[in-house]
Amino acid sequence: MTNDPMNKLVEAVAKHRDREAFVQLFTHFAPRLKGFALKRGISLAAAEELVQETMLAVWRKAATFDRNRANVSTWIFTISRNKQIDLLRRQTYPEVELEMALDQPGSEPAPDQRAEWAEFGTDLQSALKSLSPEQRTILQKAFFEEKSHRTIALELNLPLGTVKSRIRLALARLRAVFPEEYV
């Protein structure tokens, strides 16, 4: 949400190097990041290191947060994804940002479209709750456990086509949350 208090916290960290704001962000996100990491099946020690490194990156990268581009949980989700690859695979995950694509000829969106980006958070949350348990399990496997379609199919003992179509259906439901210009 544009008025999400989390936005202000990250901005305070960026502008004023506000430690108190950082502690609030930590208190909210660190336990979730840890839960998220543990679901990925990594060790407790690795999960704690990941939480630390992610939160340190939040402190360091606070100025790169743009509330018009993502909400705070999405921003932190991508930081933690990249950190995990960095820590566990010793690789830098190739990144891409909206600005790069906006720079391409003919892809300039109307300016007011950008402001809405951050407002989808709550709608997405309720859309997530409306998924069937099978759909949710598969999505969670993809996101939490960082598993490719092929691995998920093997693990759940399902044909690859079934996994793909379950994911597609789940994503279609979630995508209905985004206004048409974004699809």
Partner 1 sequence: MINHHPDEALLLDYATGALSEAVALTIATHASMCIRCMRQINQLEAIGGSLLASETPAECDDGVLAQILMRLDDEGLEPAATVKTESSAILPPPLRPYVNEPLHQLPWKRVGGLYEEYRLPLADTKVRASLFRLAAGTHTPKHSHRGQELVLVLSGGYRDGDAQFARGDFSALDVADTHQPIVDDDGPCLCLGVQEAPMRLTEVLSLRLRRFLRI
Which positions from 89 through 128 interact with partner 1, judged by CB under 8 A?
A: 89-107, 109, 117, 120-121, 124-125, 128
User: Are 80 and 36 spatial neighbours (Cβ–Cβ below 8 Å)?
Assistant: yes
* Residue 20 sits in the site that holds partner 1 (CB under 8 A): no
Q: In the window 37-66, what residues touch partner 1 (CB under 8 A)?
A: 38-39, 48, 51-52, 55-56, 59-64, 66
CB of 152 to partner 1, least distance (A): 9
**Burial, 76: exposed, middle or buried (Cβ in 10 Å; 0-12, 13-18, 19+)?**
buried
Shortest spacing between CB 46 and partner 1, in angstroms: 13
Give least dist CB 112 to partner 1, A. Answer: 15
Q: How far is CA 81 from CA 33, 40, 69, 90, 134, in A?
A: 10, 11, 18, 13, 24
CA distance 144 to 169: 19
Beta carbon nearer to partner 1, 73 or 157: 73
Q: Does 157 bind partner 1 (CB under 8 A)?
A: no
64 vs 169: CA distance, rounded Å: 33
The runs of H, that is alpha helices, within 17-43 are 19-39
Whose tokens are 């300016």? That residue is 111
Rule CB under 8 A: choose which of 1, 30, 87, 156 binds partner 1: 30
Q: Determine the length of the chain.
A: 183
Least distance from C-beta 134 to partner 1, angstroms? 16
Q: Which of 24, 73, 87, 158 binds partner 1 (CB under 8 A)?
A: 73
Nearer to partner 1, 8 or 69 (CB): 69
Residue span 127-156 as binding mask against partner 1, x where in contact by CB under 8 A, dash where not: -x----------xx-xxx-xxxx-x-----
Which lies closer to partner 1 via its Cβ, residue 157 or residue 176?
A: 176
User: Which residue is it, tokens 């600005």?
Assistant: 99
Query: CB within 8 A of 1, min separation 6: which ones?
Result: 71, 118, 119, 121, 122
